[in-house]
């Protein structure tokens, strides 16, 4: 699976006995996962953080809330540097979790809540919900078909989640489990290039491309000016940095091979041979490293 598809945000509520007791799971790492929905149509992950961070009149919480823009852990789950802690998301006096998994869910499972309804785009929230459950299954070696239960399955007399939220998007629990399994099994095609580091791109522009642009400007060479302007922007896109100061970051793009070869042959190779003639091995290595950064950004073999 693609473990980098989404970012997991960790912003923890204050420790309080009725929401975040601060006690680690009895199993250390999660033994299974309970798929919930928030039951509050239109309320976002941030809304739930605020709610549980101030809750004082009853015991309730869950570790994770997911909407159409973020995956938010409000109690440690073990996906980050902090060990997994318990939350109050399934009643203790209901024994279905003990019968099925051998533990009370609060003591051994993560409660993962799907936010839905209102202005929340179901398809985006659902994709993040699926991915997060798959990420957890991958991390702790769990089978989605046997280690994910809905709250309704564990407490059918009282609860309808997460099936009620899934129905909003025309999904069933079976489809959720199948989608988690598919996400888990999905192969990731590695990119055929490596992004150019920001500092390398900027140094190449400052040291070589910009001086060439100014030289073209001095002699009135409009074709040369356009070429070096485009070359600088291609370097910026290969590093995903803004094309102009204050602009948003550029879409990360593979460096054209012709650009990489031009910079190497026009500037880096002559500098390497000059360093070699001077017996400067440090400089030789520097220019070789620059050339290989360009080769990787263009998806061509290093030398």
What CATH code is carried by the domain that includes residue 94? 3.40.80.10
User: In degrees, to the nearest 5, what angle opens at C-alpha 291 toward C-alphas 288 and 296?
Assistant: 125
Is 55 inside any structural domain? yes
Give CA separation, 3 vs 134, 143, 240, 256, in Å.
9, 17, 21, 28
**Predicted local distance difference test score (pLDDT) of residue 192:** 84
Question: What is the C-alpha to C-alpha distance for residues 168 and 79, in angstroms, rounded to an integer?
Answer: 29
The verdict on 127 and 206 lying in the same domain is: no
pLDDT band at 273 (very low <50, low <70, confident <90, very high): very high
The verdict on 81 and 133 lying in the same domain is: yes
Is 216 inside any structural domain? yes
The verdict on 181 and 208 lying in the same domain is: no
The verdict on 103 and 227 lying in the same domain is: no
The verdict on 164 and 245 lying in the same domain is: no
The verdict on 32 and 65 lying in the same domain is: yes
The verdict on 279 and 246 lying in the same domain is: yes
**Predicted local distance difference test score (pLDDT) of residue 143:** 97
Is 1 inside any structural domain? no
Structure tokens at 237: 């896109």
Is 192 inside any structural domain? no
Give the pLDDT confidence of 149-200 residue by residue, as tens digits: 999 999 999 999 999 999 999 999 999 999 999 999 997 777 788 999 999 9
Is 190 inside any structural domain? no
Of 235, 237, 246, 239, nearest in space to 213 by CA = 235
Domain final residue, candidates 142, 161, 185: 185
Structural domain for 108, as ranges: 8-185
**Predicted local distance difference test score (pLDDT) of residue 231:** 97
Domain count, the chain: 2
**Predicted local distance difference test score (pLDDT) of residue 38:** 96
The arrangement of strands across the sheet holding 32-37 comes to 8-10, 71-73, 64-66, 109-114, 32-37, 148-150
Cis ω for the linkage preceding 162 (within 30 of 0): yes
Is 193 inside any structural domain? no
The verdict on 152 and 232 lying in the same domain is: no
**Predicted local distance difference test score (pLDDT) of residue 252:** 87
**Predicted local distance difference test score (pLDDT) of residue 65:** 98
Domain final residue, candidates 147, 162, 185: 185
245-257 average pLDDT score: 86
The verdict on 22 and 167 lying in the same domain is: yes
pLDDT band at 206 (very low <50, low <70, confident <90, very high): very high
Answer yes or no: is pLDDT of 253 > 80: yes
Is 2 inside any structural domain? no
pLDDT band at 247 (very low <50, low <70, confident <90, very high): confident
Mean pLDDT, rounded, of the chain: 95
The verdict on 128 and 255 lying in the same domain is: no
- Could you tell me which residues are beta bridge partners of residue 111? 34
Domain final residue, candidates 185, 211, 238: 185
Give the pLDDT confidence of 74-116 residue by residue, as tens digits: 999 999 999 999 999 999 999 999 999 999 999 999 999 999 9
Answer yes or no: is pLDDT of 20 > 80: yes
Question: What is the C-alpha to C-alpha distance for residues 38 and 89, in angstroms, rounded to an integer?
Answer: 11
Share of the chain above pLDDT 90, in %: 91
The verdict on 147 and 215 lying in the same domain is: no
The verdict on 212 and 246 lying in the same domain is: yes
Is 144 inside any structural domain? yes
**Predicted local distance difference test score (pLDDT) of residue 248:** 79
């Amino acid at each position: 699976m693609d473990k980098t598809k989404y970012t997991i945000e960790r912003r923890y509520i204050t420790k309080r006995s009725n929401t975040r007791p601060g006690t680690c799971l009895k199993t250390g790492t999660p033994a299974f996962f309970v798929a919930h929905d928030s039951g509050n149509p239109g309320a976002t992950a941030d809304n739930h953080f605020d709610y549980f961070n101030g809750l004082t009149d009853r015991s309730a919480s869950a570790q994770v809330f997911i909407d159409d823009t973020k995956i938010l852990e409000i109690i440690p789950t073990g996906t980050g540097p902090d060990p997994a802690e318990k939350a109050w998301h399934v009643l203790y006096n209901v024994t279905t979790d003990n019968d099925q998994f051998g533990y009370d869910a609060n003591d051994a499972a993560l409660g993962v809540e799907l936010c839905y309804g209102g202005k929340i785009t179901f398809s985006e929230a659902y994709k993040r919900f699926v991915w997060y459950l798959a990420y957890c299954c991958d991390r702790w070696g769990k089978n989605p078909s046997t280690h994910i239960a809905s709250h309704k399955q564990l407490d059918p007399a009282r609860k309808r989640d997460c099936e009620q939220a899934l129905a909003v998007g025309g999904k069933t629990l079976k489809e959720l489990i199948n989608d988690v399994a598919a996400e888990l099994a999905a192969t990731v095609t590695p990119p055929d290039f490596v992004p150019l580091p920001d500092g390398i791109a900027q140094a190449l522009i400052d040291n070589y491309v910009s001086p060439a642009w100014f030289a073209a400007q001095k002699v009135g060479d409009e074709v040369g000016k356009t070429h070096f302007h485009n070359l600088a922007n291609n370097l910026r896109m290969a590093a995903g940095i803004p094309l102009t100061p204050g602009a948003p970051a550029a879409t990360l793009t593979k460096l054209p091979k012709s650009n990489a070869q031009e910079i190497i042959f026009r500037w880096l190779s002559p500098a390497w041979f000059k360093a070699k003639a001077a017996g400067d091995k440090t400089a030789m290595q520097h220019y070789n490293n620059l050339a290989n950064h360009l080769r990787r950004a263009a998806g061509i073999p290093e030398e």
